[in-house]
Chain A
Amino acid sequence: MTSATGTNLFRQKTNTIEKRSTPIRIVDQTFYWLTLTFAVGLGVVLTWIVLNVAMQAMPAIQANGFSFLMTTTWDPVRNIYGVLPQIYGTLVSSIIALLIAVPMGLGVAVFLSEDFLPPQVQNAIAFATELLAAVPSVVYGLWGIFVLIPFLRPFFNFLHDNLGWIPLFSTTPRGNSLLTLGIVLAIMIIPTIIAISRGTLKSLPPELRSGSMALGATRWETILKVLIPAGFSGIVGSVMLALGRALGETMAAAMIVGNTNRISISILDPGATIASLIASQFGEAGRVQVAALLYAGLVLMILTLLVNILAEYIIKRFQNVE
C-alpha cells in the first residue's frame, strides 16, 4: 500500500513489524512529495528551456533549415547563417582536449589510488588537482592569451618547421588556434577525470585487488586487467562529463580559439566553436541573428545529447566485463 513511500527509512531493528506513528508517517509523506516535486521540476525546467530555445530559434530554423548545418558563412549583415565551421571546431578542439586529458587524467587517477605515496601526500595532490576545477574559465582564457600562447610559441614553431609536411601542422602558427584551445580545455577537464576516476578506483572492493594479487598477478596486470575494467563505467562517466564541459566551454574558447569562420585541416589555424560564437555575438546581435544563435545553441544541445547517448551505449556495451 505504502510501498513507494520509503517504508524502510524508519524501520526498527526488531524483526516484528510495528505500526508506525503518525508523525513519522507525515515526515515520510512530506519527504516523498518533496523529492518527487524536485525530480519532476528538474525535468520540467529542462523541457521548458529546450522548448523556449527552440521557439525563439524558430525563425532561423524556418529560414535556414538543415542547410544551417552545412553552410560555412556567418554573415549578420545579409542574414546568411551556417555553423559547419563551428561544429567542426567544437569537435576538433574537444577531441584534442580528450587526447591529452584522458591518458594524463587516468594516469594520475591510477597513481593516486595505488599505494605509491603516503595517503597524506595523495590527498594533498588530489586536493590540488580539484582546485584546478575551481578556477573561473575567464581566468583560463586570460592565462591562455598572455601566458600559454607565448610559452607555446617555440613548440608550435617547432611543430610547423619539422612536421609541416603533415597537413595538421601545415600553416604558420599564430598563437590563437584550435590546438591552443584543445590544450587549455585539457587542463580544464583533467580535474573532472581525475576526481571521478580516482573515486571509482578507490571504491572498488578490496577483494578484487587482493584476489588478483593472490593469483600471482603483477601490479601491472592488476591495474590493467582487473581494476580499470572493473571501474570502467565510472571512468567512461568521468570522460563523458569532461567531454560535456569541453564541448560547452564558452569564455575560454571565445578568448583563445581565434573566432575565424573557416574550416582548416591545420590545427595551428584559428577556428571557432559553437559556444564561442554564441558568447561573442549575442550581446550585439540583431533579432534575426539572435534566432540564428539560439539555433546554434540547439545544435550544441543535440550534439551534447548524442555524446551522452554514446556514453550510455559504451557503458552498457562494456559493463558486463565486471
Chain B
Amino acid sequence: MRFKRFTGKSALMASLAAISLGVAACGGGEAPPPGEPGAEGSAPGGVVALSGAGATFPAPLYQRWFDSYNREVDSNVRVSYQSVGSGAGLEQYINGTVNFGASDAPIAGDRLESFRSRYNAEPIQVPMAGGAVVLAYNLPGFDELNLSRDAYCGIATGSVTRWNDPAIASSNPGVDLPDQPITFAHRSDGSGTTFIFVNHVDTVCPNWEAGVGTSVNWPTGVGGQGNEGVAAQIQQNEGTIGYIEYAYAKLNDIQMAAVENKAGNYVKPTPESASKAFEGAEVPEDFGLLVPDPESPEAFPIAGLTWILVYPSYDDATQWNTLKSVMEWALTEGEDITVELDYVPMPPDIIQRVKDVLAQVEA
C-alpha cells in the first residue's frame, strides 16, 4: 500500500513538472523585456530577425515591404509579421513578446494604461500608411452609383431597404433604380476596416447608435468573415452593398459607389482622393490622427491611417537600429510599393516627424 501511494504521488508531481515546463515555454509567466524573443536576433552570423504582430488591414503592404527589404536592401534582415488583428497585436506588444506591434486604431483606454504601468513610459506609435474603405455593391447594369449621406446612413442603419428608395434615387438623377431589396454586408470579425467605416458613419450619421469600435453591434445586415467573406457576399447576391478595403475591391473588380463628402461632392474612391482626406489635417503629437469626416472638397470621405508601435527603449541596439532602418526605408523608398498596392503613402512632413520621433528611442 505504501508503495502504491508513493507511485501515485510521484506521477502527479511528474505531470505537474511537465505542465509547468509547458507554461514557461509558452511565455505565460513574467513579461520578458522587449527584444527578448529575438534571442537569435543579433546572432554573430549577422542575421537580424525581427517579429511583429497586429493589424490585418495593412498586412499585404507590410509583408511586401519586409520581403522587398530582405531581397533588395539587406538579406541579413528578416522581419516576420503576423496579421493576428489589431487587438491581439496590441496585447503582444504590451506583453513584450514582439519587437513591434501594429494597429489600425490608436492605442487607448485600458491598454494604454497597462502599457504605461508596465513600462513607465508612453508607447510610440507612428503612422505607416493610409487607406480608403469603399462601399462596394452588386447591381448589374448600374456601373455608376452616387450615394448621399442620407442614403448610406440609411442603408447602414436599416432604414433604407430598397434600391429605389428616394434617398438613393435623388442623388442619381436619370437612373432608373430597380425595386429590389438591399442587403447590407459587414465584417463579422473585428477589423480595422470596420473601425474606419464606423468612425466615419458615427460622425456623419445622426441616427447611428452602435458607436465606434473594431466590431460593433450592427443594427442590420449579414456578416462576412474577412474582406474575402464580405466580397463574396456582395458578388454572389444581387442587391448587396458592403464596405471593404479599396485595394481588395479593385483587385476583385467589384463596383464601387461614389460617396458624398463633407463639401457635398460625390467622389469616387482612388488613391489620390483618399490621400486628399489627410490633407490639411493637424496631426497630433502622438500621430493618433483620425479623419472621420475630411474637410477637403476633393477627398474621398472614408479613410484612415494604420500605425506601427515601437517601444521607448530596446535592450538590443542592433535590433532597434535594424528596425529603425526598415521603417524609414518603408516610409521613403518603400513608397513605390505603397502606391502599387493602392495604399496612401505618408506626406514628407509627416515622414520627417516620424524620423525625429524614432531618433529619440533609446537602445
Contacts and interface: CB of A to CB of B under 8 A. Distances in A.
Interface of A: 4, 32-33, 36-37, 40-41, 44-45, 48, 73-78, 80, 141, 145-146, 149-150, 172, 174-176, 254-255, 258-261, 270, 272, 276, 279-287, 290
A257 B358 CA distance: 45
Given A176-B233, A260-B222, 6 more contacts: A32-B7, A37-B15, A176-B222, A258-B224, A282-B85, A287-B110
Contacts of B222: 174, 176, 258-260, 270
Interface in B141-193: 181, 183, 188-192
B38 interface: no
A148 to B, nearest CB: 11
Nearest to A77: B211
B210 interface: yes
B120 interface: no
B236 A36 contact: no
B14 A255 contact: no
Nearest to B202: A77
A86 to B, nearest CB: 12
Interface of B: 4, 7-8, 10-12, 14-16, 18-19, 56, 84-88, 109-111, 181, 183, 188-192, 210-218, 221-225, 229, 232-233, 236-237
A260 B189 CA distance: 11
A146 to B, nearest CB: 7
B11 A40 contact: yes
A283 B210 contact: no
B86 A174 contact: no
B107 to A, nearest CB: 11
B214 A78 contact: no
A175 to B, nearest CB: 6
Contact of B19 (A41, A149, A279): A41
A172 B182 CA distance: 12
A234 B280 CA distance: 71
A283 B88 contact: yes
A281 B190 CA distance: 5
21 contacts: A37-B11, A40-B12, A41-B15, A75-B210, A75-B217, A76-B216, A76-B217, A77-B217, A145-B232, A145-B236, A174-B222, A254-B188, A260-B218, A260-B222, A280-B188, A282-B85, A282-B87, A283-B84, A284-B189, A286-B109, A287-B111
Nearest to A258: B222
Contact of B218 (A145, A261, A281): A261
Interface centre among B12, B86, B212 (most CB of A within 10 A): B12
A284 B191 contact: yes
Contact of A283 (B8, B14, B111, B190): B190
A317 B133 CA distance: 58
Contact of A174 (B12, B111, B218, B237): B237
